[in-house]
Each structure stands twice: as C-alpha cells, then as structure tokens.
Amino acid sequence: MDTATPPGLRERKKQRTRDALLRAALELFTTRGYDNTTVDEIAEAVDVSQRTFFRYFAGKEDVAFAAQDIAHTHFVEAVRQRPPHEAPLEALRNAVLESWDTIEEAIEQVVPLELYLRMCRLTESTPALLASHLRRTDEVFEETARIIAEREGLDVDTDPRPRVAVAVFGGVIRVTERRWGTDGDLSVTAIRALTASYLDAVGPLLTEKWRTG
C-alpha cells in the first residue's frame, strides 16, 4: 500500500507542522487546562495561522485525542491477532494487557509518554473531553464486537452475545480508567495491574455472595 517513494521536503514539512501542533496543544492543555486554551494560542505557539490548525485537525477535540487514537488502534489490532482458540473474554483480556506494551513505544513516536499520560488524566476531569472519549471508545467497542463475532462465526446483528460480551468488557475498562485517572500512580505498569485485577473481578461477581453477614 505504501508508496516506496521517500517523502519529499513538502511531506516532511507537513509532518513537522502536525507534530508541533499536537505537542503544543497537549502541552498547553495539560498545563493551563483544556477550556482555558484557545486554538489561536496553539496556532500561535507553532507560528501558523488558526486556519492552518484546522487543516491538520478537525477540531480542538481532535488534537486532544490524537495520541489516544493510536492506543485504540493498537488495541483493535491486538484483538484481531488473538489466536482463535481463546474464548472471547479471554481474547479481550489478553488483547488489552498485551497492547499496553506495544502502545508505549508507538505513542513515544509522536509525543512523550508522560505527556500522553497527563492528557489521560485531564480527559477524566474535563467534561467535554470525557464525553468525547466515551463516544470514541464506544466506537472502538463496536468495531471490537464485529471482530469477536467474526472470530466466533456469528452474525453481530442477530446474536446478542458478541456485543454484550464486549460491553461487559468495556464497562470494566471504564472503571479501570476512572480509577487510574483519579489515583496517584500514573504509570503504564499501574494500569496494567489495575486492568488485570478488575477483569478478574467480573466472574465472581455473578455468583459469589458479597455480604459476609
């Protein structure tokens, strides 16, 4: 698919502008806050016009999730790569845990990992960003459900199980995110451990009794 032609000056320049805008935006968002940062300020920080910003990113929200999109892509890809013998929830579990490893490197190629992590935390505390984030993950889970359905040889629109399984999984991921975004330990190691322990809590939930009394 990729054209073997090495990128010319034009392409390299575009890439640099995009990177600079992205980094400047995240830096400004995470220091001053999302709502307190204007698109003009981002553009000015990179010394381009506001109009140019909107040629690279569809909107202010878009640039905020540019790094997160990479993470989402990695997760979806990890789900696709899971061996067919794994049960659906097992495959999903392994996919998240595994993708957390490959994600670090991929993110670093665009923005410093620490900046991405700070952005995650900001997302949790900024209503507009949280809303957008939830919609984006909703889309990711829809795609995930289709993959799971295909794996199992089911029709996603007829059999409720693929979507329900992914929804259950997604619900747990959401709890993990919230906790991670609120807690002190903002590291990839921490979220890996948190994800694993929360996912393990699902099974017992449906059968065990909670109250000791």
Partner DNA sequence: GAGGCTAATGACAGTCACTGACAATTGACA
Partner DNA sequence: TGTCAATTGTCAGTGACTGTCATTAGCCTC
Is residue 65 helix, strand or coil?
A: coil
Q: Which of 33, 171 has the CB closer to DNA?
A: 33
Asked if residue 31 binds DNA (CB under 7 A), the reply is: no
The nearest distance, CB 124 to DNA, in angstroms, is 20
Cα gap 30→4, rounded to integer Å: 38
Phi, psi of 57 (to 5 degrees): -130, 140
* Interface residue with a copy of itself, options 27, 110, 163, 191 (CB under 8 A): 163
* Interface residue with a copy of itself, options 132, 147, 180, 191 (CB under 8 A): 132
Asked if residue 130 binds DNA (CB under 7 A), the reply is: no
Interface positions, 135-154, toward a copy of itself (CB under 8 A): 135, 138, 142, 152-154
Q: Which of 128, 201 has the CB closer to DNA?
A: 128
User: Tokens 């381009």 correspond to what residue?
Assistant: 48
Say which residues have a Cβ less than 8 Å from residue 63's Cβ, sequence separation at least 6: 21, 22, 25, 26, 42, 53, 56, 57
Q: Which part of the chain contacts a copy of itself (CB under 8 A), choosing from 16-24, 41-49, 69-77, 161-169?
A: 161-169
Nearest to 166 by CA among 154, 178, 184, 182: 154
Alpha helices in 82-126 (DSSP H): 88-108, 113-125
Cα gap 74→188, rounded to integer Å: 15
Q: How far out from the chain centre does Cα 56 lie?
A: 20
The nearest distance, CB 125 to DNA, in angstroms, is 17
For residue 57, what are its two tokens? 């990113």
Asked if residue 11 binds DNA (CB under 7 A), the reply is: yes
Interface positions, 88-107, toward a copy of itself (CB under 8 A): 88-89
Interface positions, 35-74, toward DNA (CB under 7 A): 37-40, 47-52, 54-56, 58-61
Q: How many residues bind a copy of itself (CB under 8 A)?
A: 41
Q: Which part of the chain contacts a copy of itself (CB under 8 A), choosing from 33-41, 113-121, 184-192, 193-201?
A: 193-201
Residue 168 zone, left/alpha/beta (φ > 0; ψ -120 to 50; rest) = alpha
- Interface with DNA (CB under 7 A): 8-11, 13-14, 17, 37-40, 47-52, 54-56, 58-61
